[in-house]
Amino acid sequence: MATFRKFKNAFKGNMTDEIWINIDHIISVFESLSTDNETNEMETSVTLFSKDGMSWQVKEPISEVSRKLSGEPVQDGMATHYQQRVSDAKKIDDLTKT
């Protein structure tokens, strides 16, 4: 089964800013600078290359792209909250035992 992740498309002219990429076929990723044609400002973007020779430019920073490609949760608020509660409960138990 294909593994898709959602990115913000850096290429202008599409109907939406979102792009879903099958990360199972990504073989190379690099960060680069590009110039915005409308504002003439420098912007960073990350380019993903597939084994089929296709490429996509995305707006996310390289650290977030890396997390998405490795399968790590990008937004793990509930998991973090749960782990903190378990840790706090253990500390309370340890205090009440003495």
pLDDT digits (tens, 9 = 90+) for 13-41: 777 789 999 999 999 999 988 777 788 88
Domain span including residue 26: 4-97
Q: pTM score, two decimals?
A: 0.64
Where residue 84 falls among pLDDT bands split at 50, 70, 90? low
Amino acid at 8: K
Beta bridge partners of 4: 22
Domain count, the chain: 1
pLDDT of residue 17: 86
Question: What integer is the mean pLDDT of 60-79?
Answer: 75
pLDDT of residue 73: 55
